Amino acid sequence: MMTPNAGVAVTTLNMPASLLNEALKEANELYRSGAMTKGHVAANGVDLPGIEQRGDSVLWLHESGVYQTHASLRKLDEAMQAFVQQLAHEVKPKLALTERTDAMLACYPPGARYAKHVDNPDGDGRDGDGRRIALVYYLNDDDWTDDDAGALRLYHPSSDGHDDVLPRRDVLVVFRADRVAHEVLAPRLRRRWALTTWWCAYEHE
Ligand SMILES: O=C(O)CCC(=O)C(=O)O
Ligand SMILES: [Fe+2]
């Protein structure tokens, strides 16, 4: 697992190509069917349409009931969950994981971005166990290149520096949802797909 800076890790899940092809088909089918809705940003506890800030379309997969019919997406969600169960052991001295969120399927059409933000800057309004870990897994075509753009830009916590991660198929980025500022740069010509889950945790002193 590569760790480009504090609070960030980049790895792959090594899922079979057939499963990834099928999941991408399912995702495109959901997009075409009109099941996905514009992503929102919360400000001061009020949910605002984030036209300027955020151009993706999203679908909460468990809640929407699509796992009944979209088994490949469900299997990828399960693989991410299995990954976290291993990780839980490693992070135990620092974090006590409590629960996960639903999986969010997100599509960035060409030109869509998500401006710099921290996912959980204020504890999520929970009693110490807001979202602490974000996992973002990319479902894109297997020939995604620099020219396709759409990197996830992760800012270093204590300097102006940043690292860009291209949203290549099967790449999993794990980062601190309560600390790491990041932004999504717009993909140039293709739809950019990601499956995201968050884990809530208490942080030990
Ligand atoms: O798709 C990505 O690379 C990250 C998306 C993101 O930052 C978010 O949904 O909060
Ligand atoms: Fe984010």
Centroid of ligand 1 to alpha carbon of 172 (angstroms)? 12
- Is the CB of residue 137 below 6 angstroms from any atom belonging to ligand 1? no
- Is the CB of residue 151 below 6 angstroms from any atom belonging to ligand 1? no
Domain locations in the chain as residue ranges = 8-32+64-203
Residue 139 phi/psi, 5-degree rounding, is -110, 20
Q: Whose Cα sits closest to atom 8 in ligand 1? A: 119
Ligand 1, residue 58: give the atom nearest the CA: 9
- Is the CB of residue 200 below 6 angstroms from any atom belonging to ligand 1? no
Centroid of ligand 1 to alpha carbon of 104 (angstroms)? 10
* Mutational test site, ligand 1, from 101, 136, 137, 183, max ligand atoms within 8 Å of CB: 136
- Is the CB of residue 172 below 6 angstroms from any atom belonging to ligand 1? no
Q: Which ligand has the nearest atom to the CA of 106? A: 1
Ligand 1, residue 194: give the atom nearest the CA: 1
Percentages (nearest 5) of helix, strand, coil residues in the chain: 25, 35, 40
Centroid of ligand 2 to alpha carbon of 22 (angstroms)? 25
Spatial separation of the C-alpha atoms in residues 151 and 165, rounded to whole Å = 5
How many Cα atoms occupy the beta-carbon half-sphere of 81 within 13 Å?
11
CATH 2.60.120.620 is right for the domain spanning 8-32+64-203: yes
pLDDT per residue rounded down to tens, the chain (205 residues): 556 567 899 999 999 999 999 999 999 999 999 999 998 876 555 555 555 789 999 999 999 999 999 999 999 999 999 999 999 888 888 999 999 999 999 999 999 999 999 999 999 999 999 999 999 999 999 999 999 999 999 999 888 899 999 999 999 999 999 999 999 999 999 999 999 999 999 998 7
List the one residue out of 178, 170, 147 whose CA is nearest residue 24. 170
Cα diameter, the chain: 47
Ligand 1, residue 39: give the atom nearest the CA: 9
Centroid of ligand 1 to alpha carbon of 136 (angstroms)? 7
Answer for the pair 100, 201: CB distance below 8 angstroms, yes or no: no
